[in-house]
Structure 1
Amino acid sequence: MAALTRVCSRVCKQNVIVRALSTSSKVCSAEENVGKQTHTGQVFDKDDYRRVRFVGKDKLVNPQWAINLIAEDPIVVCDTNHVWSDSGGPLGHPKVYLNLDPPEVQVCGYSGRKFILKKYYDKTKHGDSISYDEYLKQVRAKYSSQNKV
């Protein structure tokens, strides 16, 4: 008890403000996003105990799913059979080399960008496209704007 008194007297001398701890609980209604599905497929039933984490606060659900954004990206049409993707240098991902010899779309495993050799590209089958030079300009412009901070 004497040790506790010494500690309390030292704390009081240092002008420490002590707040009382509340042990009461308040039940709030579920917010609007609790029932929405996330990009991973997570959705909870009304009586699921895991909904308790959203009592008094809202579940954050991003309506722009990455898989949909990648699908909207135009395919990169290349003149050479070997290209690389790094999503903009040091702030992107490791450099990935892609072999475009097979007559199909090649996808970067990190960024999801799609690449195809010019002779295999068909607008009706593959959709919109940009050239490899345009792709490099886009990712370099993104890197230079991030690097100005």
Structure 2
Amino acid sequence: MLTLNNLAPSEGARKAKKRVGRGPGSGSGKTAARGHKGARARSGYSARAGFEGGQMPLHRRLPKRGFNNIFKKICTLISLDQLNVFDAGTVVDYEALVAAGYVKKAGPVKVLANGEIGKALTVRVDRVSQGAKDKIIAAGGSVEE
């Protein structure tokens, strides 16, 4: 029966650590398998991330494509049909969307014209697409940006 007092790894599962620098009879004495001279033979050596020993690094060998705009504003997108969960006459703002679970992180919110809306709501968010604005006003609501 296997119990905590007779647990043991299976045969060959654990291998002893190689002890280097313990004399010529060990097979890895003297230079301790580090070779002769050079940066890797010295204590304290550590190459920076991506260093390939002087060879042109991979991130410089590969072609570069595209452009990353560091000033890009990423909006949380809300569809019109998601706004149907609110009661008629409600003011839909950032706090209301967070409470409904549609917005999780801070930042600008944009309402898109996906779906239909059948209630008169006051939408007060950062951005509203032109199509969504037309549908909200047609349903009797208003848009405040």
Compare relative contact order (CA 8 Å, sep 6+) and give the higher one, 1 or 2: 1
TM-score, scaled to structure 2: 0.24
Which protein has the larger Cα radius of gyration, Structure 1 or Structure 2?
2
Q: Counting helix residues as a fraction of each chain, which structure ranks higher?
A: 1
